[in-house]
Chain A
Amino acid sequence: MRIPRTGKWRALGWLVCLLSLTSVSGIAQAEPYLAIQNGYTCSNCHVNPTGGGMRSTFGDIFAQTLLPAYAAPSGSPVWTGQLLQQVLRLGGDVRTDFARTSTPHSSTVQQFSLEQARVYTDISIIPDRLGVYVDQLVAPGTQNMEAYVRYGNPANWYLKAGHFYLPFGWRLQDQSAFVREVTGINMNTPDTGAEFGLRRGRLEWQIDASNGAANQASTGQNSGGGSGYMATTQLIYTRTSWRLGLAGSHTQSKVAGDRDMGGLFAGLRTGPVAWLGEADVVRQAGYADGAHTLLPMIGEMDWLVHKGNNLKLTYEFYDPNTHVGHDQQTRWSIVDEFTPLPFLQIRAGFRRGQGIPQNNAQNRTLAFIEAHGFF
Chain B
Amino acid sequence: MGCSGNGAGLDANGNPVSGASGTGGTIPLSADFDSIQANVFTPICSACHIGASAPQGLILDAQHSYSLLVNVPSTEEPGIPRIDPGNPDNSYLIQKIEGHAAVGGQMPLDQAPLPASTIAFIVQWVTDGAQPGASSQVAAATMAFDISAVVPEDGDSLPQPPNEIVVAFSRDLDATSVLTPSVRLERVDGAAGTSTASVVDTRLRMPAANPRAFMLQPVMPLAPGNYQLVLSGQPGMQIRALDGSRLKAPLPQEQADRVISHFSVAAP
Contact = CB atoms under 8 A, between A and B. Distances in A.
Contacts of B112: 99, 101, 103, 109, 111, 364, 366
A282 B55 CA distance: 16
Contacts of B99: 140
A335 to B, nearest CB: 14
A359 B110 contact: no
A143 interface: yes
A356 B43 CA distance: 11
A216 B14 contact: no
B192 interface: no
Given A288-B20, A289-B21, A212 B64 contact: no
Contacts, number: 227
Nearest to A258: B52
Contact of B72 (A106, A182, A218, A325): A218
B16 interface: yes
Interface centre among A258, A289, A356, by most chain B C-beta atoms within 10 angstroms, is A356
Interface string B158-196: 000000000000001011100100000000000000000
21 contacts: A99-B112, A101-B112, A140-B105, A175-B109, A188-B55, A212-B52, A213-B53, A218-B72, A218-B75, A220-B72, A220-B81, A221-B179, A222-B236, A223-B68, A223-B72, A288-B138, A325-B9, A326-B10, A355-B5, A359-B43, A364-B111
A257 B51 CA distance: 7
Given A326-B8, A355-B5, A357-B7, 15 more contacts: A111-B112, A141-B104, A176-B111, A182-B47, A184-B54, A213-B56, A216-B57, A216-B75, A256-B51, A257-B52, A328-B5, A330-B3, A354-B1, A355-B14, A361-B44
Contacts of B174: 224, 227, 254-255
A183 B53 contact: yes
A141 B175 contact: no
B78 to A, nearest CB: 6
Contacts of B4: 328-330, 354-356, 362
A289 B20 contact: yes
Given A188-B109, A224-B175, A218 B73 contact: yes
A143 B72 contact: no
B115 interface: yes
Contacts of A137: 104
A347 interface: no
A288 B7 CA distance: 21
B235 to A, nearest CB: 8
Contacts of A354: 1, 4
B1 A141 contact: no
A101 B112 CA distance: 6
Chain A at the B interface: SS class: loop
A212 B53 contact: yes
A262 B76 CA distance: 29
Interface in B64-110: 64, 67-68, 70-76, 78, 81, 99, 101-106, 109-110
Interface string B1-44: 10111111111111110011100011000000000000000011
A261 to B, nearest CB: 8
Given A99-B112, A222-B72, A217 B51 contact: no
Given A256-B51, A361-B43, A116 B105 contact: yes
A332 interface: yes
Contacts of B50: 184, 256, 284
A254 B71 CA distance: 19
A359 B175 contact: no
Nearest to A184: B53
B122 interface: no
B25 A359 contact: yes
A282 B175 CA distance: 26
Contacts of A141: 101-105
Nearest to A219: B175
Contact of A217 (B11, B26, B68, B172): B68
Contacts of A115: 105, 110
A359 B52 contact: no
Interface string A226-244: 0110100000000000000
Given A213-B57, A214-B53, A356 B115 contact: no
